[in-house]
Chain A
Amino acid sequence: MKRNPLTLVIGLVLILIFGLLLFTFQVRTTEVAVVTTFGKPTRPITEPNLYFKWPWPIQKVWSFDRRVQNFEDRLTEGLTRDNFNLLTSVYVGWKVSDPTAFFPRFADSANPIAAAETLLDQWLGNAKTAVVGKHPLADFVSTSDDGASFVAIETEILEAIRSQLHTNNLGLEIAFLGLKRLQLPESVTQSVFERMTSERKVLADRFQYEGEAEAQRIRSDAERKAAEALADAEGQATEIKGKGEAEAAKSLKVFQQSPELASFIFRLSALEDSLKERSVLIFDQHTPPFDLFRGVSTNLLKK
């Protein structure tokens, strides 16, 4: 039977595939891996690619998720420096950074990530208690700073957990950490509510009082301003009239040429002005031109 070249090629390809399956492994971009030789970690791999290895049972590959894990720890109670009970919980972004260090600690457990988080939870609890105890409540909530102390608290917890991880060398790395909850013990909330209620009461009363007082002030201010404006105007008016009189007085020297004529003319015009409206006049016979009735003038005519 003659050898068919195609059969040969297919055979070679099959051998190649089998060989690749035995001697190579892939590390995905989301993973880190460690190669163990007879159970001892010998080669950490942190870059994604295709790698060679000796087939099992000589070498074995352990790969772990290298992506950032999001973990939220338990709510724990701590005493602030000024003796307030405060419940805190933080969120942590962490990842496996060194598979060689991570492997011996957690490879045995069914879920290495969960096992690592259990450990983190304990250490975070300790770190929080220590940091909370160093700060007064005003560092957590206050209007007086721009959030620097809040950030400082987070940084201190982060530093504490990082140094803990460093000394234990678990192959973990904390990417970020932040406070997630900040609460009070349940029994305390009631007294906070009581305090808030009385604060509200004070505020409502103040608004009412302020409103009334302010409105009263505005009204009386307005009245005062109005009175001032009127008084001012009256002053101006008097001044204007005074000037007018002074101006008019300049004409006096014209009248000085003949005071008796001036007085006569003034009396005439006063008489005329006073009789402008509806009036009743009663005369006797001596008033000219009614003296005509007495016959003085008729005598003149008869003659």
Chain B
Amino acid sequence: MDAGSQALAEALRSSFVIVKVVMVLLVLLFLASGFFTVGPQERAIILRFGKAQGEGEKALLGPGLHWSFPYPIDESIKVSISGLQHVSSTVGWYAVTPEQMLAGIEPPAGTTLNPIVDGYVLTADANIIHTRATLTYRIQDPIQYVFGFVTASNAVQSALDNGLLYAASRFKVDDVLTRDIAGFQEAVRRRTTQLLENQHLGLVVEQCVVQSVPPRQLKDAFANVLKAEVMRSKLLNEARTYENQVTNKASADAESLVNLAQSDRARLVSDTSAQAERFQEVLPQYRRHPALFGEQRLTETLGRVLTNVQDKIFLAESAAGKPKELRLLLNREVPKPKTEEAQP
């Protein structure tokens, strides 16, 4: 072996060593690429040769560092779970551009609604109203949600659309808009939840918020009805207040009437029995000296009475023995004082 081929063999050997090292490094790198982390809001599923490893909850890898064989043997797929997902249905809402939506402006109302662009729903009494809903849900079965549907959120939205349509078709316009807003919302939620369950989307409905308005074209007409309703309850409230006042006063008056009668009765009875008692006491005295008793009582009474009398006028008899003529001027304006003439 000459020096030249010796050097060539040497060079070949050393390059083989380099190739080997590179190969080993590549294999190591390939295996290392199988490491992946799962975030706190995520779960991961490993597909080996395209088939999910494990079933149900066991298939889900929790947060942390994991390893699987790299593609094409294994494939790891991450799914966001605990975040709440939102889906809105505008199938029953009039056409509105995103700018108008942000600014909160209503587009001008035409006289008709074009079914291609303007959404609305028909109520049970064949009225047209606008209604929209937002559904909030959580993914419960990520395998079903991700591997069962091309775009699961579209399926959720369709179910929500149907929920609105269905609920509206069973509710009267006034119930949807004013009388039974909560009931309507509940009906939408129930129908949507039921559909989602039947479709095995693997999710849990958290919340369903529904908003309904009358058509823009009829805003005033609806507002007038509301105004009339408010007016009506105001009238009724006033009438009820009046009713309370009147009946309360009447029952108070009635009570005092009865009370008065009762006290009158008690007084009458006690007066009479007191009189009867006194009569019993004086009867023996009267029987002994009727004339004297009479005289004594009369004088005594007159004496007592006369101290109370404000003005006492005494008429002396004229010389002829005839009573003098007396003229009285009665002031009619003071009705209380009584003028009385006592004749023996």
Q: Interface on A for B, CB 8 Å cutoff?
A: 4, 6-7, 10, 26-31, 47-50, 65, 67-70, 72, 75, 87, 91, 93, 137, 140-143, 146-147, 150, 175-176, 178-187, 189-190, 192-193, 196-197, 199-201, 203-205, 207-208, 210-212, 214-216, 218-219, 221-223, 225-227, 229-230, 232-234, 236-238, 240-241, 243-245, 247-248, 251, 254-255, 257-258, 261-262, 264-265, 268-269, 271-272, 274-290, 293-294
- Residues from chain B with Cβ under 8 Å of A230 in the complex: 250, 253-254, 257
Instruction: Tell which of B20, B239, B266 touches A215, judged by Cβ atoms closer than 8 Å.
Output: B239
* Docked complex Cα distance between A69 and B280 (Å): 115
- Residues from chain B with Cβ under 8 Å of A229 in the complex: 247, 250-251, 253-254
B122 and A28 contact, CB distance less than 8 A: no
- Residues from chain B with Cβ under 8 Å of A207 in the complex: 225, 228-229, 231-232
A143 and B124 contact, CB distance less than 8 A: yes
Of B80-88, B95-103, B134-142, B295-303, the stretch lying at the interface with chain A is B295-303
Chain B, Cβ-Cβ closest to A197: B221
Among A150, A182, A184, A258, the most chain B Cβ lie within 10 Å of the Cβ of A182
- A279 in contact with B275 given A141-B124, A211-B232 (CB within 8 Å): no
* Docked complex Cα distance between A48 and B150 (Å): 17
Instruction: Tell which of B122, B168, B262, B341 touches A240, judged by Cβ atoms closer than 8 Å.
Output: B262
Instruction: Tell which of A4, A48, A87 touches B47, judged by Cβ atoms closer than 8 Å.
Output: A48
B158 and A192 contact, CB distance less than 8 A: no
* Docked complex Cα distance between A294 and B318 (Å): 11
- A204 in contact with B227 given A27-B50, A193-B111, A280-B339 (CB within 8 Å): yes
Give the interface size bracket for B toward A: 35 or more
Which DSSP category, helix, strand, loop or mixed, fits chain B's interface? helix
* Docked complex Cα distance between A65 and B103 (Å): 41
Shortest beta-carbon distance from A1 to chain B in Å: 8
* Docked complex Cα distance between A289 and B304 (Å): 12
Shortest beta-carbon distance from A158 to chain B in Å: 12
Q: 15 A-B pairs, CB-CB below 8 angstroms? A: A68-B150, A142-B169, A186-B115, A196-B127, A196-B215, A205-B228, A207-B232, A208-B231, A225-B246, A226-B247, A248-B271, A275-B305, A280-B337, A281-B309, A287-B344
A225 and B302 contact, CB distance less than 8 A: no
Instruction: Tell which of B111, B121, B198, B339 touches A182, judged by Cβ atoms closer than 8 Å.
Output: B121
- A233 in contact with B49 given A75-B116, A189-B113, A204-B224 (CB within 8 Å): no
A48 and B50 contact, CB distance less than 8 A: yes
For the complex of A and B, the 7 pairs showing the least CB-CB separation, nearest first, are A244-B265, A211-B232, A233-B254, A226-B250, A237-B261, A50-B49, A215-B239
Of B33-41, B62-70, B159-167, B205-213, the stretch lying at the interface with chain A is B159-167
B14 at the interface (CB under 8 A from A): no
- A261 in contact with B286 given A187-B112, A254-B279, A281-B311 (CB within 8 Å): yes
B107 at the interface (CB under 8 A from A): no
* Docked complex Cα distance between A207 and B128 (Å): 22
A190 and B258 contact, CB distance less than 8 A: no
Binary contact track B166-201/A, C-beta < 8 Å → 1, others 0: 101111111000000000000000010001001100
- Residues from chain A with Cβ under 8 Å of B301 in the complex: 268, 271-272
Among B150, B199, B313, the most chain A Cβ lie within 10 Å of the Cβ of B150
Given A29-B51, A69-B150, A229-B254; 8 other pairs, CB 8 A cutoff: A186-B113, A226-B246, A247-B265, A251-B276, A254-B279, A269-B275, A282-B313, A287-B342
Shortest beta-carbon distance from A156 to chain B in Å: 15
B124 and A211 contact, CB distance less than 8 A: no
- Residues from chain A with Cβ under 8 Å of B6 in the complex: none
* Docked complex Cα distance between A75 and B268 (Å): 94
Chain B, Cβ-Cβ closest to A211: B232
- Residues from chain B with Cβ under 8 Å of A233 in the complex: 253-255, 257-258
- Residues from chain B with Cβ under 8 Å of A28 in the complex: 47, 50, 75
Interface residues of B in 281-326 (CB under 8 A from A): 282-283, 286-287, 290, 294-295, 297-299, 301-306, 308-317, 323, 326
A180 and B344 contact, CB distance less than 8 A: no
- A141 in contact with B265 given A68-B150, A200-B222 (CB within 8 Å): no
* Docked complex Cα distance between A67 and B145 (Å): 10
- A29 in contact with B313 given A70-B155, A222-B243, A261-B286 (CB within 8 Å): no
